[in-house]
């Protein structure tokens, strides 16, 4: 019935059934039939029909005055929502991990803004997984397993973790020769990795190493700095330590073993349509990350010529 009332409002505005039909892209017979159905439903005639003259009845005038503004406002709102959902301009709220965003992904954010200058990006950085629904986030980047059933997720890549230490620390304390010797060493641990799961690259053998850390931090960048300053062994994402491995500030430990891999996901609320701006960002992130070896589980190694 509401659709038929909206149709009647268009008939009244156009002062013609034929013009209303053309405006709405409907067959004239459909407009006539739906108007008659509406009149039958409400029990009164709304339009005087004649070949020469169009006019509203008293009831028609009353209905038009009652619903014209409501229909106009509803259609304006729907048009705005459609533009918001399908347009590549306007607000986009994104959440992402701090370290990866100000590090290896910083060029991605900058290039995205240059490519889509009419998108107004609000980028919230945090190493904690905040509630996307509560904070009204359109789309987020997250690392590690995603267990929230309220979220859609799409895997964008995988990052290896590497056991590293500063050369000066290893020179002083010696390098462990097997995972069971890690407990003899000082350890800098990231709070998101309470246990270290190491896999032998050749045999596939897995070892879970309980870590009695000297230092526990919730920021990967700080853990990297502390490890580089010689405070102990650290298991860190390859995406955060590539420059340190290349420069030699950090060196791999137990080179035959690799830490657990961390999947990188794009996630968004299941109850919310992915608007065009969020879809655009998702489509932009996928090839950008696919082109970086570190997001395919690769660990950058130091050039032997550089260390010679």
- Name the 3-class secondary structure at 227: helix
Q: Residue 202: count other Cβ atoms within 10 Å of its Cβ.
A: 8
In this prediction the pTM is 0.67
Q: What are the tokens at 302? A: 């130091």
Alpha-carbon distance values, 133 to 2, 41, 240, 281 (Å) = 31, 42, 29, 19
Q: For 294, which DSSP code? A: G
Alpha-carbon distance values, 191 to 48, 110, 220, 222, 223 (Å) = 76, 30, 9, 12, 10
- Taking alpha carbons only, the member of 100, 236, 250 closest to residue 169 is 250
**pLDDT tens, the chain, 308 aa long:** 778 888 888 888 888 888 888 888 888 888 888 888 888 888 888 888 776 778 888 888 888 888 888 877 776 666 555 555 556 778 899 999 988 898 899 999 999 999 999 899 999 998 878 888 778 889 999 987 777 778 888 999 999 999 999 999 999 999 999 999 998 999 999 988 888 999 998 898 999 988 888 899 988 999 999 999 999 999 999 998 988 998 999 999 998 998 988 899 999 987 666 788 899 999 999 999 999 999 998 887 665 544 44
Q: What are the tokens at 228? A: 């580089």
Alpha carbon dihedral 130, 133, 134, 138, in 10-degree steps, equals 80
Residues 299 and 240 sit within 8 Å (Cβ to Cβ):
no
Alpha carbon dihedral 31, 37, 43, 44, in 10-degree steps, equals 20
- Taking alpha carbons only, the member of 246, 224, 229 closest to residue 293 is 246
- Taking alpha carbons only, the member of 259, 277, 257 closest to residue 268 is 277
Q: What are the tokens at 201? A: 């690259």
Residue-level pLDDT at 80: 58
Dist CA 196 CA 210 (whole Å) = 7
Residue 230 C-alpha from the chain's centroid: 36
């Amino acid at each position: 019935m509401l659709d038929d009332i909206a149709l009647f409002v268009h008939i009244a505005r156009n002062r013609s059934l034929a013009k209303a039909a053309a405006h709405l892209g409907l067959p004239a017979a459909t407009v006539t039939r739906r108007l008659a159905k509406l009149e039958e439903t409400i029990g009164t005639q709304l339009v005087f029909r004649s070949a020469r003259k169009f006019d509203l009845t008293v009831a028609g005038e009353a209905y038009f005055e009652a619903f014209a503004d409501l229909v106009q406002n509803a259609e304006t709102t729907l048009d705005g929502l459609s533009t918001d959902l399908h347009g590549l301009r306007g607000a986009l709220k994104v959440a992402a991990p701090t370290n990866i965003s100000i590090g290896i992904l910083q060029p991605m954010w900058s290039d995205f803004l240059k490519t889509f200058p009419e998108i107004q990006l609000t980028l919230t950085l945090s190493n904690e997984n905040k509630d996307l629904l509560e904070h009204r986030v359109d789309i987020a980047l997250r690392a590690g397993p995603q267990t929230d059933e309220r979220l859609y997720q799409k895997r964008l890549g995988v990052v290896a973790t590497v056991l590293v230490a500063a050369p000066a620390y290893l020179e002083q304390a010696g390098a462990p020769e097997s995972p069971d010797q890690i407990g003899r060493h000082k350890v800098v641990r990231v709070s998101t990795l309470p246990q270290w799961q190491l896999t032998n690259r050749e045999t596939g053998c897995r070892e879970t190493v309980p870590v009695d850390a000297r230092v526990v931090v919730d920021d990967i960048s700080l853990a990297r700095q502390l490890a580089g300053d010689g405070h102990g062994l650290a298991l860190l994402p390859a995406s955060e330590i590539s420059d340190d491995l290349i420069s030699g500030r950090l060196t791999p430990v137990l080179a035959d073993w690799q830490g657990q891999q961390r999947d990188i996901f794009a996630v968004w609320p299941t109850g919310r349509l992915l608007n065009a701006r969020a879809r655009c960002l998702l489509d932009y992130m996928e090839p950008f990350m696919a082109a970086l070896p570190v997001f395919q589980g690769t660990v950058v190694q130091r050039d032997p010529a550089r260390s010679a």
